[in-house]
Amino acid sequence: MWRVSQKTLNLGILAHVDAGKTTLTERLLYDSGVIDQLGAVDAGTTQTDSMPLERRRGITIKSAVVSFPIGDVAVSLIDTPGHPDFIAEVDRVLNVLDGVVLVISAVEGVQAQTRVLMRSLQRLEIPALLFVNKIDRPGANPEGVLRDIASRLKVTSFAMGCVTSAGTHGASVTASGPDDAEFKTGLTELLAEHSDRLLATYVQTEAGVPYDHLRAELAEQTRRGQVYPVFFGSAISGAGIAQLMAGMAELLATSDGDPDGPLSGSIFKIERGSRAEKIAYVRMFSGTVHVRDRLQFGSGLDDKVTAVAAFERGPAVQRKALSAGQIGMLWGLAEAQIGDQIGETENDAGLQFSPPTLESAVVPCDPRDRNRLRVALGQLAEQDPLINLRQDDKRHEIYVSLYGAVQKEVIQSTLADDFNVAATFRETTMI
């Protein structure tokens, strides 16, 4: 029987807009050997921004999954959108993650959105590493950002390295280690606050706590969301990225979940394939799904799985099965919806962000397109249930719920590009 023998890490990168999430994703894929050419956001050549519109506007709209190895850890990275109009996409992926890298710009520092994201991570008890990016940009102030993290994010954090020549092309990062007495003492005192055992060793032994015990304790407290280790670097120059990657494997990776246990998973994204067939993105928590299995999902539905793909080194590859810990794609579940649970899982943490507050009527430019528009919007609603299609039978109009103007523009372009339907919006009103 097919098995996952390695540790897995289902990772999300969260950040305020422009902090460098997409650039960091590209850098991680490049440094781990999955791609041989580094794409750039500004040139529209990154792996994860694949929608034509994303490339044109240089923003991330839909979550995409890519994977890469760090040593013996298989990382599936779920790129999440940063613009507040797409916060619902972030919400959907949060409850399938093992850990998060929260990116903060060394120039702009902690932003309102960083605080919103941090609060969600704390509420859901999702462990996170903080990555202070753009240390090479003029104006970078790593020390200031550390103070910002303490005062504005109000979490227990700990710097894992020091930056030299901040704000210049030559900015570099030195990882702190066992030879750095100040680092070791600081880390011991911080971790001892949550560990009586560590405190006892610290007080009783003159030589101090052995370094490998400290690191193991740091990993434990990070996974419990008690400490947030802070890494510094530049996604553009590559400085500090090796330390960040080592930190992800050491401090976040898990191999929880029994492949022979009861079936449990969560569908977090729906997509249509090239033949318009439905594809469900699923995170498995326990058990194994095989091709041709009959699967129970949602509220009492069941259907036969016709194909399975898993994410391994870059894009998804066809596989015979998907098991505990993995993220993959399932074909054949025609009625599946975002948020559906597979088997007996209780991992649905529910909606983490407020639902949309705006509504607008969508009207076809050519009245003969009304039916095609309805079908197209129906498919969009499948991928994004929060747009909450509403039909007004008296006025023969279709309404969608919205978070903001950028989302409106995206829906309009998607209708034109993917469905060949020209449509406009009437004025937006509060729900």
User: Which residues of the chain form contacts with ligand GDP (CB under 6 A)?
Assistant: 15, 17-23, 41-42, 58, 60, 82, 133-134, 136-137, 234-236
Kindly give, in sequence order, each residue whose CB lies less than 8 Å from that of residue 131, ignoring residues fewer than 6 positions away. Answer: 24, 101, 102, 103, 104, 230, 231, 232, 233, 244
Spatial CA neighbour of 326 closest among 273, 290, 373, 279? 290
Least Å from the CB of residue 15 to ligand GDP: 5
Whose Cβ is closer to ligand GDP: residue 29's or residue 235's?
A: 235
Least Å from the CB of residue 135 to ligand GDP: 7
- Residue 291 is encoded by which pair of tokens? 């091709």
The residue sitting closest to ligand GDP, measured at its beta carbon, is 20
Least Å from the CB of residue 176 to ligand GDP: 21
Whose Cβ is closer to ligand GDP: residue 129's or residue 236's?
A: 236
DSSP state, 186? Answer: H
Least Å from the CB of residue 12 to ligand GDP: 13
Least Å from the CB of residue 18 to ligand GDP: 4
Determine which helix (DSSP H) or strand (DSSP E) holds 69, and give its type and residue range: strand 64-70
Least Å from the CB of residue 186 to ligand GDP: 26
- Residue 34 is encoded by which pair of tokens? 């999955």
Whose Cβ is closer to ligand GDP: residue 59's or residue 284's?
A: 59
Whose Cβ is closer to ligand GDP: residue 112's or residue 375's?
A: 112
DSSP string, 276-297: S-EEEEEEEEESEEETT-EEEE
Least Å from the CB of residue 235 to ligand GDP: 4
Other CB atoms within a 10 A radius of the CB of residue 397 amount to 14
- For 299-319, give one letter per residue: b (16+ CB within 10 A) or e: eeeebebebbbbbbeeebeeb
Long-range contacts from 32-35, C-beta under 8 angstroms, 24+ separation: 32/68, 32/69, 32/70, 32/75, 32/245, 33/68, 33/69, 34/66, 34/67, 34/68, 34/313, 34/314, 35/314
Least Å from the CB of residue 422 to ligand GDP: 29
Long-range contacts from 174-178, C-beta under 8 angstroms, 24+ separation: 175/243, 177/211, 178/211
Please, are residues 18 and 25 in contact by the beta-carbon 8 Å criterion?
no
Whose Cβ is closer to ligand GDP: residue 18's or residue 217's?
A: 18
Which residues are 134's β-sheet partners?
A: none
DSSP state, 58? Answer: T
Return the residue matching tokens 């104006």: 139
